[in-house]
Amino acid sequence: MRGIRSILTALAAGVCLLAPAASAQLGGPERYAQSELISERTSVAPGETVFVALKMTMEPGWHVYWRNAGDAGLPPQLILKDTSNIPAEALGEFLWPLPHVLPVVEGEIMDYGYDDEVVFTLPLTVPADAAGDVRIEATADYLICEAVCVPETQDVSLVLAVGEPAVDVRNGDLIGAWVSKVPAPFPGEARIDDAAASWTLSLAKAGGFPEGARLRFFPFGHEISHPAAQPQRAGPDGASLSLTPDRAGKVGEALAGVVRVDAPGAEPVGYEIRATRGSVLAGTADRAVADAVVAEAPAALGLQGLLALAGFAFLGGLILNLMPCVLPVLSMKALGMVSAAASGHAGELKSHGLWYTGGVLVSFAALGGAVLAVREATGFATLGFQLQHAPTVAVLALIMFAVGLWLMGFFELGTSIQNTGSGLASRGGAMGAFFTGVLAAVVGAPCVGPFLGAALGAVMSQPAPAVIAVFLAMGFGMALPFLILSFVPGLHRLLPRPGKWMETLKQAFAFPMFLTAAWLLSVLAGLAGAGAVGWTLAGATALAFAVWVARGGGTIRRVAALTALAIGFGLPAVQANVPVGPAAGAESVPSYAEDAWSPEKVEALLAEGRPVFVDFTASWCASCQVNKLTTLNTARVRDAFEAANVAFLVADFTRKDPVIAEELKRRGRAGVPMYLWYPAGETQPRILPELLSQDLVIGLAEGG
């Protein structure tokens, strides 16, 4: 459909060029924009300067360009046709309103411009000897594009009486409104640091930028890659943008352009800047700001991914039943059920089972709702991927450690909640059953730790229904054993009896927690260096200290414990946020000769005639680690690679890297792992499966 429309439009455009009159017969408009010259005045005095404007109204979906059109396109022009009445220099330059981005091909071709309606204001200096009237006869000459581009021209004219100045209120208002959209000079300092491969534009301004503001730089020239993302950092005194230079991009004396600021709930604001060369301004780059694109369009998990997640959540829910905080509740109820069944109330039992399930599900749905509310309120999801955000990783590691301590039995949680709940749950009837469900969920909540944590991490960026679905799956897993028991009471004999083994099991679950914490620390080392790991370990010690102090009870001890707790979480989070240069951190010990990947490197190696294996990996990618463990770091594979003279390249995506991101995108991959195999002498790689096997990889090496 779209194709047909494009062809028709192209046809229309072609015909339009050859015979303008004929195009109307095709059903398309004669032009895709209507242009009009307007003025803030109906009459003007000789010698004064007034504002006139070219107003363009476009067909839906069509756009015209900013003064810098970006990668393609051309800015509109107003050309005086007749200079007998006013000289050419009487008309000034356009005042360009703040443009928006026009991503023509996402990530590859970016234009800047306007759609719907735009008003280009320009000053008119009335000749001192003007008499009678001032006539402007001009041609609006512009390129207008949708999927295709059409150059259009339209003759426009304006006649202003010369005499007592008189205002045109309606057009004056319109022009005034559009002049207010013209970027103002930046009320602060702008610097461009072009020392590194990616440039940093820093903008300092009293009071900084509004909370949640997203900035984008529109250059007047072509020094930077227009389609590249502009990762943003912010601080108390302003913000900074990371810019990707264009192939031939160089900063002369300064980098000039417009910065567009989009803050939540506010009209976009534009500033004209001229950034002089120099190092990044202090207080503008303290923390990363998520990309607005990320916030708008979180990658939705496919149905399959969602089902898998829900499956894991369901399993997690089942395991919750074995937790020492849940099993006693269940056992008591189960025994009660047996006696009820014995006294011939089997029908009632079934309804109790259903009520219980309802109680659990309502509680988990409420929990999911709370998580969503927190997400809305804090914008947590817009932080982007948590495992690339050092403070989050540090705090996650500490939470895992704390959960481990709790599982070990170092401290107790939530006993008072359990007592309140059990009062309600001990009531008889449907209400009793319902509240037992609620109680099981509430007392189970602290036990959820590993399962909920993992599920949360995965669904946090997902749409609300997916989040709720995962929580409900976990709740259903938790409710299922009791539901089955209520329908088949005889099965209760199979229930394990509560006992010391529960405590042992709980303690055993501490070790996966500690291991997770250790893994998070290794991720942190890659992100923020060894210093951050040290601070996080110190924080963990502070946590343990807090637990130890709080055990004795009493106000002083509690205060001391809270202080230690605050330090324990706060310090690592702050310290982890200190940005590190690309040279620091993540120096993984190569198990055999491996080299950092770059497209040029691949090319060079291929030119040497060597086969190339590229490992796109990240320390936070678990399947990457599995593949290393089972395949890539094994002696068999290593020997096979050595024998076949395979060059092993590693593209480390632990920290965001635009070149790697581009390569992943080019190969149609959403993320790591990705494995590329270039047989000797071939420039096109094979993309290998995400889970490798030794036989597969060795087969490739021996075959190529």
Interface residue with other proteins among 45, 74, 413, 584 (CB under 8 A) is 74
Residues 679/669, Cβ–Cβ less than 8 Å? no
Give the dihedral of Cα atoms 488, 489, 495, 498; nearest 10 deg.
150
Q: Which is nearer to other proteins, 152 or 193 (CB)?
A: 152
Q: Please choose, out of 85-93, 142-150, 325-333, 429-437, the segment that lies near other proteins by the rule CB under 8 A.
A: 142-150
Name the residue type at position 606. Answer: L
DSSP β-bridge partners for residue 124: 50, 91
Residue 248 engages other proteins in binding (rule: CB under 8 A): yes
Stretch that binds other proteins, among 107-115, 271-279, 352-360, 532-540 (CB under 8 A): 107-115
C-alpha torsion angle, residues 552, 557, 559, 562 (rounded to 10): -50
Of 118-126, 483-491, 521-529, 613-621, the segment contacting other proteins by CB under 8 A is 613-621
Q: Which of residues 541-560 bind other proteins (CB under 8 A)?
A: none
- At 296, the amino acid letter reads E
* Least gap, CB of 22 to other proteins (angstroms): 17
Q: Is 663 in the site for other proteins (CB under 8 A)?
A: yes
**From residue 26 to residue 65, what is the string marking binding to other proteins with x (rule CB under 8 A)?**
----------------------------------------
Residue 76 C-beta: closest distance to other proteins, Å:
12
The two tokens of residue 22 are 């004929």
Q: Which of 97, 113, 208, 231 binds other proteins (CB under 8 A)?
A: 231
Q: Which of residues 466-495 bind other proteins (CB under 8 A)?
A: none
Instruction: Report the candidate in 75, 76, 64 with the shortest Cα–Cα distance to residue 139.
Output: 76
Q: What minimum distance in Å lies between the beta carbon of 332 and other proteins? A: 30
Closest CA to 243 of 272, 280, 208, 209: 280
Query: Pairing state of beta strands 100-105 and 63-70?
Result: unpaired
108 sits near other proteins (criterion: CB under 8 A): yes
Q: For other proteins, which is the closer residue by CB, 133 or 662?
A: 662
Residue 8 is encoded by which pair of tokens? 């028709």
CA distance 296 to 262: 13
The span from the CA of 536 to the CA of 259, in Å, is 38
- Shortest distance, CB of residue 159 to other proteins, whole angstroms? 28
Helix, strand or coil for residue 17? helix
- Residue-by-residue DSSP string for 200-244: EEEEEETT-S-TT-EEEEEESSSSB-SSS---EEEETTEEEEEEP
User: Between the CA of residue 423 and those of 173, 417, 426, 436, what are the distances in Å?
Assistant: 69, 10, 5, 10
Selected from 202, 232, 244, 575, the binder of other proteins by CB under 8 A is: 244
| 504 near other proteins, judged by CB under 8 A | no
Confirm or reject binding of residue 345 to other proteins (CB under 8 A).
no
Out of 520, 621, 640, 688, the residue judged to bind other proteins by CB under 8 A? 621
Residues numbered 161 to 180 that lie near other proteins (CB under 8 A) are none
Q: Which of 104, 122, 424, 584 binds other proteins (CB under 8 A)?
A: 104
Q: Which long-range contacts (CB under 8 A, 24 or more apart) does 386-389 make?
A: 386/457, 386/460, 387/523, 387/620, 388/527, 388/620, 388/654, 388/655, 388/656, 389/288, 389/527
| 263 touches other proteins by CB under 8 A | no
Q: Which stretch binds other proteins (CB under 8 A): 272-280, 350-358, 364-372, 455-463?
A: 455-463
Q: Can residue 247 be called a binding residue for other proteins (CB under 8 A)?
A: yes
CB 450, min distance to other proteins, A: 10
d(CA 63, CA 56) in angstroms, rounded, equals 10
# binding residues, other proteins (CB under 8 A) = 87
Residues 593-612 that bind other proteins (CB under 8 A): 599, 603
Q: Does 293 help bind other proteins (rule: CB under 8 A)?
A: yes
Among 457, 554, 590, 681, binds other proteins (CB under 8 A): 457
585 sits near other proteins (criterion: CB under 8 A)? no
Please report the DSSP string for 246-295 in residue order.
PTT----SEEEEEEEEE-TTS--EEEEEEEEE-SPPTTS-SEEE--HHHH
Residue 522 found at the interface with other proteins (CB under 8 A): no
Nearer to other proteins, 147 or 177 (CB): 147
